[in-house]
Amino acid sequence: PHSRDRVVSDKLSGLLVAPEDATSELNPLLRLPKAVRRGYALLPPLLKVLSDQGHQNWESEAPRLQPDSRALRYMKRLYKMSATKEGIPKANRSHLYNTVRLFTPCSECKHSHRDLMKGDLHSVDLLFNLDRVTALEHLLKSVLLYSFDTSIPTSSSFTCTCHLSVKEHDFSSQVCPSVSHTVAFSLHFEVRKRKWVEIDVTSFLQPLIATNRRNIHMAVNFTCLMGDPQHNTKQDNSINMALVPPSLLLYLNDTSEQAYHRWNSLRRRRKNPVRPRRRNSPFADIADDKGRENPQGKRA
């Protein structure tokens, strides 16, 4: 118990560090209790680097894979919509999520005609690796994000059909799993300036992510006809979408202590509104000492 008394708790990283004098030379990871070390490994990089600053040279870390520029542009736009210039989450945003992850497919696999479904010329297998999603990040919504390339005229209307199927891993083929369950739906929409199409696949992926599946194999065929199909049936208006693999967007609620819980802080603020210190009133201190309703003060 004595050693526990001297344990230093570090609120910022939520870690308990062993007594300082006995462990400062050890490798920081060795210093942590086993269970915490596992949690530590899954800490978001920002908190890891804040905890590790001075113990690990982040420069020497393995080079990061660079994300797709379109994906980056989309996430920067999402950031601007969700946070102020100072980086503070916008109060008027009533969204439940406090984490959004965007994954680009890490491998593609084209099917040979033999086992394609009839008429499905552009089917592409996509593998998304979701290892970065932690156990405390709970899925709220998942979207397949398609971006139109710039050559498409703006405010055109499209009718698209999408064949989506999730694959189970077929051990006979290392990369290309077999089909398990499929869904097909069609969309009709108009492309605006932003040239993004979000396809909500939440109900489709929820059971997979809830069972901690971290490798998601999907076969996606997304074919669009420009204009309204009733009016023109010419095939040459089809836009070959499958060549541009979609990104996968996950809206998550992180329940860890380090994450911002919008509803908690609103409740906290409502419980004890803070009265700012009034400098311009010469009697502020006196009023403060007498006027503030502090139950402890009253009891004392």
Partner 1 sequence: SRRRRDENLKEAPATPPYNLSEYFKQFLFPQNECELHSFRLSFSQLKWDKWIIAPHRYSPQYCKGDCPRVVGHRYGSPVHTMVQNIIYEKLDSSVPKPSCVPAEYSPLSVLTIEPDGSIVYKEYEDMIATKCTCR
Chain positions contacting partner 1, by CB under 8 A:
11, 44-47, 49, 58-59, 61-62, 64-67, 71-72, 75-76, 78-79, 82-83, 85-89, 98-104, 106, 129, 131-132, 254, 257-262, 265, 274, 277, 279, 282, 285, 288-289, 292, 294, 296-297, 300
Please choose, from the candidates 249, 192, 240, the residue with its C-alpha nearest in 3D space to the C-alpha of residue 67.
249
| Nearer to partner 1 (CB atom), residue 227 or residue 297 | 297
Find, among 175, 182, 248, 242, the residue nearest to 209 by Cα: 248
Task: Decide: 141 and 200 in contact? Cβ < 8 Å.
Answer: yes
Least distance from C-beta 14 to partner 1, angstroms?
10
Q: Angle CA(81)–CA(68)–CA(161) in degrees, nearest 5?
A: 80
Nearer to partner 1, 91 or 184 (CB): 91
Which residue number, 181 or 268, has a Cβ lying nearer to partner 1? Answer: 268
Residue 6 CB, nearest approach to partner 1 (Å): 16
Q: Residue 149 or 285: which CB sits closer to partner 1?
A: 285
Type of residue at 93: R
For tokens 């696949």, name the residue: 201
Name which of 144 and 224 has its Cβ closer to partner 1.
144
- Closest approach, Cβ 229 to partner 1, in A, equals 35
**How far is the CA of 130 from the CAs of 62, 219, 231, 247, in angstroms?**
19, 17, 42, 12
If the CB atoms of residues 195 and 261 are measured against partner 1, the closer one turns out to be 261
Rounded alpha-carbon distances, angstroms, from residue 1 to 4, 18, 174, 282:
5, 13, 52, 50
Nearest to 46 by CA among 16, 13, 82: 13
Q: Least distance from C-beta 210 to partner 1, angstroms? A: 20
Q: CB of residue 10 vs partner 1: minimum separation in angstroms?
A: 13
**Minimum CB–partner distance for residue 98 and partner 1 (Å):** 4
